[in-house]
Structure 1
Amino acid sequence: MSSRSSRARSDLETSISQFVSVTGASTRDARRYLERHKRLDAAIDAFYNDPGAARSGASTTKLNALFDQYKDPDAEEITVDGTIRLCQDLCVDPEDVVLLAVAYELRSPRMGEWSRKGWVDGWRALGHDTLPAMQGALARLRERLGADPEYFQKVYNYTFDFSRQAGQRSLALDMAQAFWALLIPHGLAGGALAHVAGDEDEDEAMGAEEGWKDEYTTWWFEFLTEKGGRGVSKDTWQMFLEFVRMIDARFEKYDAEAAWPSTLDDFVEYARARLASGA
Structure 2
Amino acid sequence: MPMASSSFNSYYQNPSTPSASGPTNQNAINSVFDQFRQPSDPLDEFSIDATMAYFDALGLQLDDVTLVPLSKVLGSESMGEISRKGFTDGWMQLGADSLPKMQEKLQELRQSLDTNEEYFKEVYKWAFGWAKPAGSKALPLDSATEWWRLLLQSRFGDNGHLERWLEFLNEKWKKSIPKDTWNMFYEFILSAKADPTLTGYDENGSYPSIIDAYVDYYRNLEQ
Question: TM-score of the superposition, structure 1-length normalised?
Answer: 0.71
Give the match for residue 273 of structure 1.
220
Identity across the alignment (%): 35
Of structures 1 and 2, the one with the larger relative CO (CA 8 A, separation 6+) is 2
1:82 to 21, 27, 50: 50
Q: Is the CA contact 2:162–2:189 (under 8 Å) kept in the aligned structure 1?
A: no
Moved over 6 A (4+): 50-53
Distance in 2 of aligned mates of 1:41 and 1:159: 25
Deviations 1:44-89 (A, max 9, x none): 7256357787435221101111111222433231121112211221
Give the match for residue 67 of structure 2.
99
Aligned residue for 2:148, secondary structure, equals helix
Question: TM-score of the superposition, structure 2-length normalised?
Answer: 0.88
Is 2:191 the counterpart of 1:225? Answer: no
Q: 1:27-38, aligned counterparts within 5 Å?
A: none
Q: 1:52-201, aligned counterparts within 5 Å?
A: 54-74=20-40, 75=42, 76-188=44-156
Q: Higher mean Cα deviation, 85-94 or 234-243?
A: 85-94
Give 2:93's aligned amino acid.
A
Give the match for residue 256 of structure 1.
203
* Runs (5+) with no aligned partner, structure 1: 1-39, 189-211
Aligned length: 213
Deviations 1:255-276 (A, max 9, x none): 1011211110000011111222
Distance in 1 of aligned mates of 2:218 and 2:190: 16
Give 2:162's aligned amino acid.
T
Report the CA distance shift for 1:97/1:49 in structure 2 as closer, same or farther (over 3 A): closer
Shift of the alpha carbon at 1:93? 0.8
Distance in 2 of aligned mates of 1:96 and 1:52: 27
Structure index of larger Rg: 1
* Runs (5+) with no aligned partner, structure 2: 11-16
Shift of the alpha carbon at 1:145? 0.8
CA-based RMSD of the aligned residues comes to 2.1
